Amino acid sequence: MVDWRKRTVQSGDVTLAVFELGDEGAPPVMLVHGWPDTHHLWDQVAPALAKEFHVIAHDNRGAGESSRPGGVAGYHIAELADDLLTVADEVSPERPVHIVGHDWGSVLTWEAVSRHGAEKRIASFVSVSGPSLDQLGAWARENLSRPTPRRVATSLSQIASSAYTAFFHLPVAPRILLSFLGIPAVWRNFLKVTEGTPADRVSIAPTLRRDMISGVALYRANIVPHLSHPEPHPTTVPVLELVNHRDVALRPAIFEHTHRYVQRLWRRDTPTGHWLPHTHPEYLTEAARAFIGYQETGSLEKPAWSERTRLIGPPQAFSGRLAVVTGAGSGIGRETAYALAELGCEIVAADIDAVAAEETARECRAKTVPATAYALDVADSAGFAEFANTVQRDHGVPDIVVNNAGVGLAGGVLDATDEQIDRLLDINLRGVITGSRLFGRQMVERDLGGQIVNLASAAAFTPQRDLGVYSASKAGVLLFSESLRAELADHHIGVTAICPGIVDTAIVANTPIAGLGSDEQAARDRLVRFYQRRGFTPDKVARQIVAAIRSDKAVVPVTPEASVGYRIYRFAPWLSRQAARRRVAAPVPTRR
């Protein structure tokens, strides 16, 4: 139970119930709820913020312990924005307030921050699951006036998600439905079904049913006027936009034009749902705390967080995300780092060759994203653990991990030495398992999802007489990735196995060939020429990796021969076994 201090504030004809926590001399932070909530929405967020800030929450008009105007006219967002500023003036007359708004609380705060001179009263704004209706209307108009397949698809997706708003405009039906949905047990179950919200995390006011019914006026008073005649205005108030990709009501695409109206915009995308204050209060608290602290002091415990999440221009596919790539000093690893950097990721480039890793990081920084290089031997489990801890401490928990580092070994299994086999398995299999476990634990603990990409090979499902040990290591990566994918599915962490075929990379020139002795170098030179003639370059694999991350694919055979081999092994494995007996022209691993 939160021990709020209560007072009332008069805003025109409306009496607002205001609640406070924390030291009144600390920087003021206002928490603004939406429909059908009250200030109790913040019961899991406010106490943590109150350790550093003066926390203020109020019940919006028509909700909780505040007045309930009759009819629809009293619920225009301009009226609610006036209420917000009145509370701010009353509680913090000398100091501008920081605002965290959710749902309609965010919608009405957009109205407030877009007013002339808003920066004098509002120091910053954290927007959660609540767009500016005017910006949304302008976005919809642009999609309709210049339709493309993508715009049509995103518009239809948002229309489907917002269908309930049309229902709320009906005369009688909403009251009947909401009278039932407003039963606390029913509402808790609804949130559990739609977003997996644990029942014990949902703080509900005793006025829930009345709040649901009276709050319908918000939709009737604002949706049609603002969407049909949008008038978006710019703001100089710094804004952090938390975009939830599993939001049942709002699709991420509707926020793609926010940068046009916000002079200083930060953005974080996560696979979270609409009721973030219930489902992930720790994440919301930390994001708000860090952002508000940065606006207050100009400094941040993790400066990369600010660099990574600030938008200069439109958001990219992976804006604000952190990607760790091993084996990033060359080949597929380097090209994957470049591809992710171009899409907005901060890059942590790790490689056993520190100089090569720094070259990759330098090129990523030229793409205007933060990038840092680290020396890493993935076969050193203790060193890998230290690296993972350093990444978490200095950069945060990664959103994307690409376990790419690997080596090759060709020739007969009987000719390979124990040292060659141990090194191969330590890097190719144990290194992938170590990276997946270390960063997977961090992702699970953070509880915001993520993507782990493990580089296997077409050799994992195309047996060859000259690649026995290498094939075993890659088959292990493939089955490990499939198993880990099942284990982490409940945490919304995807795991992908990438299986390239013949790719022209530096690994070929460095691969030992067991059993050839003095003829090994000549054989390797022939193989290098063969791979070069094949002409499938690492950047093509990187593009497939990015596509797999976007769609969360389980297994991706990359090259044409990999795709054919994958299907043969699945549907006619005897053909694979027959082919394996033949001595191929190029018995060398096909990655990096």
Token pair belonging to 345: 């990721």
Which of 470, 531, 566, 569 is flagged as catalytic? Answer: 470
Q: Which residues of 138-161 are buried (b: 16+ CB within 10 A; e: fewer)?
A: bbbeebeeeeeeebeebbeebeeb
**Catalytic residue list contains 470:** yes
The answer to whether the CB of 350 falls within 8 A of the CB of 342 is no
From CA 315, how far away is CA 260, in angstroms rounded?
A: 11
Task: Locate the DSSP E strands across 256-385.
Answer: 265-270, 322-326, 346-351, 371-375
pTM of this structure = 0.85
Q: What is the DSSP string of 41-96?
A: GGTTTHHHHTTTSEEEEEPPTTSTTS---STTGGG-HHHHHHHHHHHHHHH-SSSP
The token pair at 418 is 């124990």
Specify the pLDDT at position 586: 44
Q: What is the CATH number of the domain that holds 406?
A: 3.40.50.720
- Residue 522 in domain: yes
Q: Give the C-alpha separation, 99 to 50, whole Å.
A: 14
- What are the residues facing 10 on neighbouring strands? 15
My answer on whether 329 and 302 are in the same domain is: no
Helix axes of 77-91 and 104-113: crossing angle, nearest 10 degrees: 80
**Same-domain pairing of 459 and 524:** yes
Q: Which of 13, 130, 28, 25 is nearest to 62 (CA)?
A: 13
Q: Which residues of the chain are under the pLDDT cut of 50?
A: 585-592
* Residue 532: exposure state from Cβ atoms within 10 A (0-12, 13-18, ≥19): exposed
| Alpha-carbon span 31 to 243, nearest angstrom | 18
pLDDT (0 to 100) of residue 178: 94
Domain contains 129: yes
Maximum C-alpha span of the chain: 94
**Helix 538-551, helix 331-342: angle, nearest 10:** 50
State how many domains the chain has. Answer: 2
Q: Supply φ then ψ for residue 55, to 5 degrees.
A: -95, 130
The CATH number of the domain holding residue 294 is 3.40.50.1820
Reported as a single tens digit per residue, the pLDDT across 62-109 is 999 999 998 899 999 999 999 999 999 999 999 999 999 999 999 999
Q: How far apart are CA 499 and CA 458, in angstroms?
A: 5
* Cα–Cα distance measured from residue 538 to residue 181, given in angstroms and rounded to the nearest whole number: 54
Instruction: Let me know if residue 317 belongs to a domain.
Output: no
Q: Are 277 and 353 in a shared domain?
A: no
Tell me, what's the pLDDT at 592? Answer: 46
Residues 507 and 373 in one domain: yes
Does some domain include residue 592?
no
Query: Does residue 89 lie within any of the structural domains?
Result: yes
Residues in the chain: 592
In a domain? residue 86:
yes
Q: Is residue 433 part of a domain?
A: yes
SS (H, E, C) 477-509: HHHHHHHHHHHHHHHCEEEEEEECCCCCCCHHH
What is the reported pLDDT for 582?
67
CA distances from 254 to 142, 342, 353 (A): 11, 22, 43
Residue 247 in 3-state DSSP?
Answer: coil
The contacts of residue 578 (CB under 8 Å, 6+ apart) are none
**Domain termination site, one of 309, 333, 367:** 309
* Same domain, yes or no: 42 and 169: yes
Residue at a domain's end among 309, 337, 365:
309
Measured CA to CA, the distance from residue 279 to residue 343 in angstroms comes to 28
- Is 587 domain-assigned? no
- 312's CB contacts (< 8 A; 6+ apart) are 368
In this structure, the answer to whether residues 293 and 327 fall within a common structural domain is: no
Question: Residues 470, 386: one domain?
Answer: yes
pLDDT digits (tens, 9 = 90+) for 416-455: 899 999 999 999 999 999 999 999 999 999 999 999 999 9
In sequence order, what are the residues at sequence separation of 6 or more whose Cβ sits closer than 8 angstroms to the Cβ of residue 295? 98, 123, 124, 238
- Return d(Cα 346, Cα 368) in angstroms, integer: 9
Are 337 and 356 a contacting pair, CB within 8 Å? no
Residues in CB range of 112: below 8 A, 6 or more apart: 81, 84, 85, 99, 118, 122
Full domain range(s) for residue 367? 322-580
**Do 241 and 370 lie in a common domain?**
no
**CB of 32 within 8 A of CB of 24?**
no
Q: Are both 568 and 497 inside the same structural domain?
A: yes
Predicted pLDDT at 562: 82
Q: CA Rg, the chain, in Å?
A: 28
255 and 301 in a single domain? The answer is: yes
Residues 291 and 328 in one domain: no
Cβ pair 574, 452 in contact under 8 A? no
- Of 248, 283, 309, the one marking the end of a domain is 309
Same domain, 202 and 227: yes
Consecutive H or E run containing 193: helix 184-195
| Positive or negative torsion for Cα 205, 210, 213, 216 | negative
